[in-house]
């Protein structure tokens, strides 16, 4: 009996040592990468395998029994429970999210393939204060994040208004939620998580990433050593002295940030972040002509280093959606060779102009020029004159309740004269809008 006890203690000590060694390896990898594969030696390997299996089965239900027609109240309160070997997964409002994914132009099969790909999931270790765990699918298209139960309840209770907002503004900067689930593992309790579209996708050529809140306190991240491969997400103070160069598209971004923050203000939330990343356009994309055909071709460039067009000119651009029935058109300034771009009520290209290049694109409805047509789902992408920007608003679950009001009073004393994140939703929204006004040209 004593020998058996000694053996158990030895095994436990070995597991503890192995885990500590793994965590040390993780810290070392963070110094090198910040994003790495969850292989068999990773503490989350079994967990992510369960996620893959459970999510694949959940999406299969929507593939086999698609929900057609208008959504009703039972769809929003639907809970699908599926029991697997070693765990149980629940899917919340499955028919609602399936319809939203279709609205984004994302097929259920593509969605399922991303979630269940043979490659390992990736873990992202950020400098965020959040205790949540962050995962990416192997193709980096889809982001998974563990959430508190109260945050899940908040999202589900406001799901209808969120979808109404996204339907009215298909190119909203709000992060696109693709699913809400929970997973229950014996002896480990229940974990809730959300599935989202990654804002920074495709990320191969992204040069810098920022998390912006429009304030100063605790808004600096130490840059990585020069030449390092560390993935660092910078903050407001790191961005000072820089601008987002959008030229004629600046007014659209400013307007959309105002619209989205006004909606978040109506939810009484704060502490959300504006994610911004950038990469240079390819040389053949940096054209000064703003003809309608050129704008379309800009959005049709691939994200790879080759930069070759991904479709023939006559192919309709997939994923394009209308927003308030407006499209992008160009006008030649009288007496000059310059063009400017504006949005007008929806028309076809054949009614915009008579040049050969524009007529070749007559079947394409174009507007807001932020989509990568290689991928059917809408992406948070804006092309400036020299740079491509990835923009999205995330972390919209912090309600301005009693606890946050107390935090505001405490920070008002501690950080007197400085701007900090915990302010009322109206002030928070206005401040972020002002940041965009001040940092875009």
Residue 45's pLDDT band (cuts 50, 70, 90)? very high
* Dihedral pair phi/psi, residue 164, rounded to 5°: -65, -40
Q: What angle do CA 285, 381, 260 make, to 5 degrees?
A: 145
Cis peptide before 369 (omega within 30 of 0): no
d(CA 113, CA 154) in angstroms, rounded, equals 29
Written as six digits, the tokens of 310 are 């991904």
Residue whose pair of structure tokens reads 């280093």 in the numeric block: 305
Which DSSP string corresponds to 392-404?
EEE---EE--HHH
Which pLDDT belongs to residue 9?
60
Sign of the Cα torsion 395, 397, 403, 405 reads: positive
Structure tokens at 175: 């992060």
pLDDT in tens, 56-68: 999 999 999 998 8
Q: Is the pLDDT of residue 4 over 90?
A: no
Q: Is the pLDDT of residue 208 over 90?
A: yes
Task: Please give the residue that has the higher pLDDT: either 108 or 231.
Answer: 108
Per DSSP bridges, beta strands 134-136 and 142-147 are: antiparallel
How is residue 139 written in tokens? 């193709």
Distances, alpha carbon 151 to alpha carbons 124, 197, 250, 300, 398, in Å: 21, 18, 33, 37, 8
| DSSP-based three-state secondary structure for 97 | helix
pLDDT band with cut points at 50, 70 and 90 for residue 336: very low
Phi first, then psi, for residue 189 (nearest 5°) are: 80, -165
């Amino acid at each position: 009996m004593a020998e058996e006890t000694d053996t158990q203690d030895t095994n436990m000590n070995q597991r503890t040592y192995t885990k500590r060694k793994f965590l040390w390896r993780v810290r070392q990898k963070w110094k090198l990468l910040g994003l790495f594969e969850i292989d068999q030696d990773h503490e989350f390997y079994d967990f992510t395998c369960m996620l893959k299996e459970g999510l694949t089965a959940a999406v299969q239900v929507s593939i086999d029994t698609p929900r057609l027609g208008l959504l009703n109240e039972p769809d929003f309160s639907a809970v699908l429970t599926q029991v697997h070997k070693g765990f149980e997964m629940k899917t919340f409002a499955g028919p609602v999210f399936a319809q939203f994914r279709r609205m984004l132009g994302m097929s259920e099969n593509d969605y399922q393939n991303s979630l269940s790909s043979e490659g390992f999931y990736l873990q992202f270790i950020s400098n965020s204060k959040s205790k949540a765990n962050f995962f990416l699918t192997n193709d980096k298209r889809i982001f998974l994040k563990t959430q508190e139960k109260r945050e899940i309840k908040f999202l589900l209770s406001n799901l209808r208004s969120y979808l109404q907002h996204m339907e009215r503004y298909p190119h909203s900067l709000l992060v696109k939620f693709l699913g809400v689930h929970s997973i229950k593992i014996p002896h480990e309790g229940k974990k809730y998580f959300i599935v989202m579209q990654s804002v920074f996708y495709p990320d191969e050529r992204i040069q810098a990433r920022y998390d912006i809140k429009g304030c100063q306190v605790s808004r600096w991240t130490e840059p990585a050593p020069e030449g390092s491969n560390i993935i660092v997400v910078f903050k407001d103070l790191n961005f000072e002295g820089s601008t987002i160069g959008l030229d004629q598209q600046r007014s659209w971004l400013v307007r959309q940030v105002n619209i989205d923050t006004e909606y978040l203000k109506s939810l009484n939330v704060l502490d959300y972040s504006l994610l911004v990343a950038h990469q240079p356009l390819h040389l053949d994309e940096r054209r000064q002509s703003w003809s309608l055909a050129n704008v379309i071709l800009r959005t049709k460039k691939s994200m790879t280093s080759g930069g070759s067009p991904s479709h023939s000119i006559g192919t309709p651009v997939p994923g394009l959606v209308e927003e308030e029935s407006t499209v992008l058109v160009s006008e030649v300034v009288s007496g000059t060779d310059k063009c400017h771009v504006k949005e007008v009520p929806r028309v076809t290209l054949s009614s915009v102009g008579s040049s050969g290049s524009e007529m070749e694109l007559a079947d394409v409805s174009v507007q807001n020029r932020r989509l990568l047509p290689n991928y059917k789902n809408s992406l948070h992408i804006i092309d400036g004159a020299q740079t491509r920007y990835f923009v999205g608003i995330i972390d919209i679950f912090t309600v301005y309740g009693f606890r946050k009001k107390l935090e505001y009073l405490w920070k008002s004393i501690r950080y007197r004269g400085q701007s900090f994140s915990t302010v009322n939703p109206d002030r928070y929204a206005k401040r972020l809008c002002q940041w965009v006004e001040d940092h875009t040209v």
